[in-house]
Amino acid sequence: MKIFEDQKIIAAFSEASDGDLSFYNMPSEQVAEIWRNLPAVGANALAWPTYGHQVHQDRVFQVTENTPFFLSEKTDGLITSLTDRPIGVFSADCLPLLIWCDQAIAAVHAGWRSACMNIAARAVAQFSELFQVESARLKALIGPCIGQCCLEMGDEVYQQFVDADPAWQRFFKKMGKWHLDLRGLNRWQLLQAGLSEGSITDFDHCTYCNDKQFFSFRRQRQRNGSMFSFIVRRSR
Protein backbone atom coordinates (compact mmCIF):
# COMPACT_ATOMS: atom_id res chain seq x y z
CA MET A 1 0.00 0.00 0.00
CA LYS A 2 1.31 3.41 -0.99
CA ILE A 3 0.67 5.89 1.83
CA PHE A 4 0.93 9.68 1.73
CA GLU A 5 0.66 12.04 4.69
CA ASP A 6 0.19 15.79 4.73
CA GLN A 7 -0.24 17.19 8.24
CA LYS A 8 -3.60 15.72 9.36
CA ILE A 9 -4.29 14.02 6.01
CA ILE A 10 -3.65 10.32 5.35
CA ALA A 11 -4.15 9.14 1.79
CA ALA A 12 -3.48 5.66 0.46
CA PHE A 13 -3.58 3.58 -2.72
CA SER A 14 -3.77 -0.16 -2.20
CA GLU A 15 -1.87 -2.67 -4.33
CA ALA A 16 -2.43 -6.30 -5.26
CA SER A 17 -0.21 -7.37 -2.36
CA ASP A 18 -2.87 -5.95 -0.01
CA GLY A 19 -5.35 -8.47 -1.41
CA ASP A 20 -8.72 -8.00 -3.05
CA LEU A 21 -10.38 -4.98 -1.44
CA SER A 22 -13.66 -5.09 -3.40
CA PHE A 23 -15.66 -4.46 -0.22
CA TYR A 24 -18.86 -3.91 -2.20
CA ASN A 25 -18.93 -7.67 -2.91
CA MET A 26 -18.31 -8.78 0.67
CA PRO A 27 -20.40 -9.23 3.81
CA SER A 28 -19.77 -6.58 6.46
CA GLU A 29 -17.99 -9.03 8.77
CA GLN A 30 -15.43 -9.81 6.08
CA VAL A 31 -14.96 -6.13 5.27
CA ALA A 32 -14.35 -5.36 8.94
CA GLU A 33 -11.71 -8.08 9.26
CA ILE A 34 -9.83 -7.14 6.08
CA TRP A 35 -9.96 -3.42 6.82
CA ARG A 36 -8.81 -3.87 10.41
CA ASN A 37 -5.81 -5.94 9.29
CA LEU A 38 -4.47 -3.41 6.78
CA PRO A 39 -1.23 -1.99 8.27
CA ALA A 40 -2.14 1.65 7.57
CA VAL A 41 -5.50 1.18 9.23
CA GLY A 42 -4.17 -0.52 12.34
CA ALA A 43 -1.29 1.91 12.76
CA ASN A 44 -3.64 4.89 12.67
CA ALA A 45 -6.70 3.30 14.33
CA LEU A 46 -8.88 4.31 11.39
CA ALA A 47 -12.66 3.91 11.45
CA TRP A 48 -14.52 1.93 8.80
CA PRO A 49 -14.43 3.51 5.35
CA THR A 50 -17.38 4.95 3.45
CA TYR A 51 -17.80 4.09 -0.24
CA GLY A 52 -20.56 4.25 -2.84
CA HIS A 53 -22.00 2.28 -5.73
CA GLN A 54 -19.79 3.28 -8.67
CA VAL A 55 -21.55 3.64 -12.03
CA HIS A 56 -19.05 5.57 -14.22
CA GLN A 57 -20.92 8.89 -14.04
CA ASP A 58 -19.98 12.28 -12.58
CA ARG A 59 -21.93 12.51 -9.33
CA VAL A 60 -19.97 13.59 -6.24
CA PHE A 61 -21.88 12.74 -3.05
CA GLN A 62 -21.47 14.62 0.23
CA VAL A 63 -20.85 12.37 3.23
CA THR A 64 -22.32 13.73 6.47
CA GLU A 65 -22.69 12.39 10.00
CA ASN A 66 -25.96 10.69 8.99
CA THR A 67 -24.47 8.97 5.95
CA PRO A 68 -24.22 5.15 6.33
CA PHE A 69 -20.78 3.63 5.92
CA PHE A 70 -21.94 1.31 3.15
CA LEU A 71 -23.76 3.49 0.62
CA SER A 72 -26.39 2.30 -1.81
CA GLU A 73 -26.05 5.69 -3.51
CA LYS A 74 -24.89 5.64 -7.12
CA THR A 75 -21.85 7.90 -7.10
CA ASP A 76 -18.32 8.00 -8.43
CA GLY A 77 -17.10 10.59 -5.97
CA LEU A 78 -17.36 11.27 -2.26
CA ILE A 79 -16.62 14.50 -0.42
CA THR A 80 -16.78 15.34 3.28
CA SER A 81 -15.72 17.85 5.90
CA LEU A 82 -15.91 15.18 8.63
CA THR A 83 -12.77 14.22 10.50
CA ASP A 84 -11.77 10.61 11.27
CA ARG A 85 -14.13 9.36 8.52
CA PRO A 86 -12.21 7.61 5.71
CA ILE A 87 -13.81 7.79 2.25
CA GLY A 88 -12.68 5.80 -0.73
CA VAL A 89 -13.15 4.46 -4.24
CA PHE A 90 -12.45 1.16 -6.00
CA SER A 91 -10.42 0.69 -9.17
CA ALA A 92 -8.79 -1.94 -11.34
CA ASP A 93 -7.65 0.23 -14.30
CA CYS A 94 -9.78 3.33 -13.69
CA LEU A 95 -8.02 6.29 -12.14
CA PRO A 96 -8.43 7.19 -8.44
CA LEU A 97 -8.14 10.85 -7.45
CA LEU A 98 -7.72 11.96 -3.85
CA ILE A 99 -8.23 15.68 -3.21
CA TRP A 100 -8.00 17.68 0.00
CA CYS A 101 -7.59 20.96 1.83
CA ASP A 102 -7.63 21.89 5.52
CA GLN A 103 -11.45 21.82 5.64
CA ALA A 104 -12.48 18.83 3.51
CA ILE A 105 -11.44 15.78 1.49
CA ALA A 106 -12.68 13.98 -1.62
CA ALA A 107 -12.17 10.58 -3.26
CA VAL A 108 -13.00 10.26 -6.96
CA HIS A 109 -13.30 7.29 -9.33
CA ALA A 110 -12.27 8.74 -12.71
CA GLY A 111 -12.52 6.07 -15.37
CA TRP A 112 -12.71 7.13 -19.00
CA ARG A 113 -16.49 7.59 -18.96
CA SER A 114 -16.36 9.79 -15.87
CA ALA A 115 -13.35 11.63 -17.28
CA CYS A 116 -15.36 12.38 -20.41
CA MET A 117 -17.89 14.03 -18.06
CA ASN A 118 -15.02 15.88 -16.31
CA ILE A 119 -15.68 14.44 -12.86
CA ALA A 120 -12.36 15.91 -11.66
CA ALA A 121 -13.64 19.45 -12.25
CA ARG A 122 -16.97 18.52 -10.68
CA ALA A 123 -15.22 17.40 -7.51
CA VAL A 124 -13.15 20.58 -7.38
CA ALA A 125 -16.30 22.67 -7.81
CA GLN A 126 -17.89 20.88 -4.86
CA PHE A 127 -15.18 22.20 -2.53
CA SER A 128 -16.26 25.70 -3.44
CA GLU A 129 -20.01 25.04 -3.46
CA LEU A 130 -20.13 23.14 -0.17
CA PHE A 131 -17.25 24.56 1.84
CA GLN A 132 -16.31 27.87 0.14
CA VAL A 133 -12.78 26.63 -0.56
CA GLU A 134 -10.99 28.13 -3.56
CA SER A 135 -9.52 25.57 -5.95
CA ALA A 136 -6.07 27.14 -5.65
CA ARG A 137 -5.97 25.90 -2.05
CA LEU A 138 -6.55 22.25 -2.99
CA LYS A 139 -4.01 19.47 -3.26
CA ALA A 140 -4.45 16.23 -5.20
CA LEU A 141 -2.98 12.76 -5.59
CA ILE A 142 -3.37 10.91 -8.88
CA GLY A 143 -3.25 7.16 -8.32
CA PRO A 144 -2.29 4.15 -10.45
CA CYS A 145 -4.39 3.50 -13.55
CA ILE A 146 -4.09 1.93 -16.97
CA GLY A 147 -1.56 3.88 -19.01
CA GLN A 148 -1.82 5.30 -22.50
CA CYS A 149 0.40 2.42 -23.58
CA CYS A 150 -2.46 -0.01 -22.92
CA LEU A 151 -5.76 1.93 -22.95
CA GLU A 152 -7.15 1.26 -26.43
CA MET A 153 -10.29 3.11 -27.53
CA GLY A 154 -12.50 2.91 -30.60
CA ASP A 155 -13.22 5.75 -32.98
CA GLU A 156 -16.61 6.33 -31.36
CA VAL A 157 -15.01 6.92 -27.94
CA TYR A 158 -12.44 9.32 -29.41
CA GLN A 159 -15.26 11.25 -31.05
CA GLN A 160 -17.19 11.31 -27.78
CA PHE A 161 -14.29 13.08 -26.09
CA VAL A 162 -13.72 15.51 -28.95
CA ASP A 163 -17.42 16.38 -28.97
CA ALA A 164 -17.29 17.05 -25.22
CA ASP A 165 -14.21 19.28 -25.52
CA PRO A 166 -12.06 19.58 -28.66
CA ALA A 167 -9.03 20.35 -26.46
CA TRP A 168 -9.12 16.79 -25.12
CA GLN A 169 -7.98 15.30 -28.43
CA ARG A 170 -4.40 16.11 -27.37
CA PHE A 171 -4.62 13.22 -24.89
CA PHE A 172 -5.19 10.66 -27.64
CA LYS A 173 -2.54 8.98 -29.75
CA LYS A 174 -3.21 6.84 -32.80
CA MET A 175 -1.38 3.52 -32.49
CA GLY A 176 -3.53 1.31 -34.69
CA LYS A 177 -6.42 2.14 -32.38
CA TRP A 178 -6.76 5.34 -30.38
CA HIS A 179 -4.92 5.28 -27.05
CA LEU A 180 -6.09 7.59 -24.26
CA ASP A 181 -3.76 9.20 -21.71
CA LEU A 182 -6.27 9.02 -18.87
CA ARG A 183 -3.73 10.23 -16.32
CA GLY A 184 -2.68 13.22 -18.39
CA LEU A 185 -6.29 14.17 -19.11
CA ASN A 186 -7.30 14.13 -15.44
CA ARG A 187 -4.22 16.14 -14.47
CA TRP A 188 -5.07 18.73 -17.13
CA GLN A 189 -8.69 18.85 -15.95
CA LEU A 190 -7.51 19.51 -12.40
CA LEU A 191 -5.24 22.30 -13.63
CA GLN A 192 -8.03 23.81 -15.70
CA ALA A 193 -10.25 23.67 -12.61
CA GLY A 194 -7.78 25.87 -10.75
CA LEU A 195 -5.25 23.62 -9.00
CA SER A 196 -1.60 24.59 -9.33
CA GLU A 197 0.98 22.30 -10.94
CA GLY A 198 2.89 21.97 -7.68
CA SER A 199 -0.20 20.89 -5.75
CA ILE A 200 -0.66 17.67 -7.77
CA THR A 201 1.34 14.52 -6.98
CA ASP A 202 1.25 11.67 -9.46
CA PHE A 203 1.73 8.02 -8.45
CA ASP A 204 2.51 7.13 -12.08
CA HIS A 205 2.15 3.38 -12.66
CA CYS A 206 0.26 1.46 -15.35
CA THR A 207 -2.04 -1.12 -13.77
CA TYR A 208 -2.08 -3.20 -16.99
CA CYS A 209 1.72 -3.41 -17.39
CA ASN A 210 2.54 -4.06 -13.73
CA ASP A 211 0.85 -7.44 -13.32
CA LYS A 212 2.55 -8.26 -10.02
CA GLN A 213 1.70 -4.92 -8.39
CA PHE A 214 -1.88 -4.15 -9.45
CA PHE A 215 -5.19 -5.70 -10.41
CA SER A 216 -6.27 -4.89 -13.97
CA PHE A 217 -9.74 -5.52 -15.35
CA ARG A 218 -8.53 -5.38 -18.95
CA ARG A 219 -5.53 -7.62 -18.37
CA GLN A 220 -7.53 -10.18 -16.40
CA ARG A 221 -10.50 -9.79 -18.77
CA GLN A 222 -12.77 -9.96 -15.73
CA ARG A 223 -12.99 -8.55 -12.21
CA ASN A 224 -10.69 -10.77 -10.15
CA GLY A 225 -9.86 -8.10 -7.60
CA SER A 226 -10.07 -4.40 -6.85
CA MET A 227 -7.75 -1.84 -5.32
CA PHE A 228 -9.16 0.60 -2.79
CA SER A 229 -7.93 4.19 -2.57
CA PHE A 230 -8.91 6.19 0.48
CA ILE A 231 -8.33 9.47 2.27
CA VAL A 232 -9.08 10.62 5.81
CA ARG A 233 -8.67 13.90 7.68
CA ARG A 234 -7.66 13.22 11.24
CA SER A 235 -8.96 15.32 14.11
CA ARG A 236 -5.56 15.33 15.81
The residue segments making up the domain with residue 139 are 2-233
Residue 233 pLDDT greater than 80, yes or no: yes
Round to whole Å and give the CA distance between 99 and 91.
Answer: 16
14 vs 177: CA distance, rounded Å: 30
pLDDT reading at 90 higher than 90:
yes
| pLDDT at residue 105 greater than cutoff 70 | yes
Closest CA to 123 of 181, 63, 50: 63
pLDDT at 187: 98
pLDDT at position 218 over 80: yes
The answer to whether residues 9 and 29 touch, using CB atoms and an 8 Å cutoff, is no
For residues 85-98, give the mean pLDDT: 97
The DSSP bridge partners found for residue 163 are none
The pLDDT confidence band at residue 222, using thresholds 50, 70 and 90, is: low
Quick one: average pLDDT of 212-216?
A: 93
Domain count, the chain: 1
**CA atoms of 120 and 27, how far apart (whole Å):** 31
Compute the distance between CA of residue 87 and CA of residue 123 in angstroms, rounded to an integer.
Answer: 14
Mean per-residue pLDDT for 182-211? 96
Structure confidence at residue 46 as a pLDDT band (50, 70, 90):
very high
Q: 70: buried, middle or exposed (CB in 10 Å: 19+, 13-18, 0-12)?
A: middle
Q: Say if CB 106 and CB 100 are below 8 A apart.
A: yes
User: What is the average pLDDT across 164-183?
Assistant: 96
What backbone phi and psi angles, to 5 degrees, belong to 24? -65, -15
Among candidates 83, 107, 106, which has minimal Cα distance to 94? 107
The CATH number covering residue 31 comes to: 3.60.140.10
